Amino acid sequence: MISPARRAAYEVLLRVFEQDAYADRAFRSAAAGLDERERAFAQRLVYGPVQRVRTLDHAIETLGQRPMRKLDPPVRAALRLGAYQLGYADTAPHAAVNESVELVRSAGLERAVPFTNAVLRRLADGLRPLLDSLPDGPLKESYPDWIHDTFVRVLGEEGALALMRAMNEPLETVVRLVRGEPPPGAEPTDVPGAYRVERVDEKLVAEGRIWPQSRGSQLAGLCVGAEEGERVLDLCAAPGGKTGQLRGEVTAVEIEPARARELRENLATMARGDVRVVEADGTALPEELDGFDRALVDAPCSGLGVLAQRPDLRWRAAPLPELQLALLRSAAERVRPGGTVVYSVCTLNPDECEAVVDESGLRVQPLGEEWPAFAHPWRPEFLLTLPHVHGTSGFFVARLARG
């Protein structure tokens, strides 16, 4: 008999690897009927194989002696699911092998059952020794070479390895206190308003009392420094976590209608009906959006700082420096002389961080003395949160002045 958690995980892996579905979205629908314990196990069985797929495929091909591309999709998904449990989870080997074989059988591929069973039994004996023998680097930690190379540019080989390892494990769970008292057992952190919790209480989220948001993300919102009475522009605002932090008369811009709808819903949950949401292209803003005191540009990016939370992003990520620079300049044009623009991205790629700011021509307002624990290691006028150092998502933050 196949456990509900493994069945759900298998179905999600098929959708992710064969239909290019997003892991988090596919998982939400597949896990709808699971209890809390099954859901947590199923999520690990989805996120783990998606993160580790480069390493898993190498091991399966090495020990199975057949290219993954030549296997039927259900066999690929079952082997990845079983291999992850054998290599990285505390699952009993017989359960990992037997249920993965049954998944292939249930897919109507009886002819592939003996092969699947033979490969999984070889993996049960040889996978962990094979993993231990791999040299430290992107194959062992399951990252594209270009991401590893980017991390080496920023942190050197040892720092890159520590960062890759950190983002293969769950980071802390943090919420922002929106109103009222902190959740029971919540632990204050070094970012005001940010509390570390064992798990997110969805009831408190629905009541608008807390919002799931990493310390790195909250830090970016705090750096805006918006005050009551000021006019504030927020570009690329969805899903709205940082928008909800901003004080004053806030205009939030989002180009995609579906994301704008999500933004409105989230702001309503946070009781921020005072925020004006405008559906527009951030690089070509309507003329009436002008004369702001402050702006936040939380730009689209490669997301290399949030790979722990988004398991398939490492296989989809791409740098976006041209778009980021266009958004930053667009926002700066709509801020009054002497106003400030905060530029933030959830990546550690210098081409999307320091290089964009340097090319913008805007004057830097140093942040390192204000937030010394998060000062950029080599450019202390900026902030850089590092998952392996700070335990939170990776964010680059700069505060800039016009004129």
Active site residues: 346
**What is the C-alpha radius of gyration for the chain, rounded to an integer number of angstroms?**
23
Nearest CA to 54 out of 68, 34, 36 is that of 68
Q: Tell me how many helices (H) and strands (E) the chain has.
A: 15, 12
> Residue 211 belongs to what H/E stretch?
strand 210-212
Q: Could you tell me where the DSSP H helices lie in 334-373?
A: 354-360
Question: Do 151 and 136 contact (CB within 8 A), yes or no?
Answer: no
Tell whether omega for the bond before 286 is within 30 degrees of 0, i.e. cis.
no
Burial class (CB in 10 A: 0-12, 13-18, 19+), 209: buried
> Minimal CA–CA distance to 174: which of 395, 333, 368?
395
Q: Which residues contact 256 (CB under 8 A, 6 or more apart)?
A: 238
Query: How far is Cα 191 from Cα 121, in angstroms, rounded to an integer?
Result: 48
What are the structure tokens assigned to 71, written together? 């296997």
Buried-exposed string 318-329: b where 16+ CB fall within 10 A, e elsewhere: ebbbebbbbbbb
Q: Which two tokens stand for residue 317?
A: 């990520």
DSSP track, 4-45:
HHHHHHHHHHHHHHHH---HHHHHHHHTTT--HHHHHHHHHH
SS3 139: helix
Q: Which residue has the tokens 């199923």?
A: 42
User: 84, 45 in Cβ contact below 8 A?
Assistant: yes
How far are the Cα atoms of 189, 190, 228, 382 from residue 392, in angstroms, in the given order?
11, 11, 29, 17
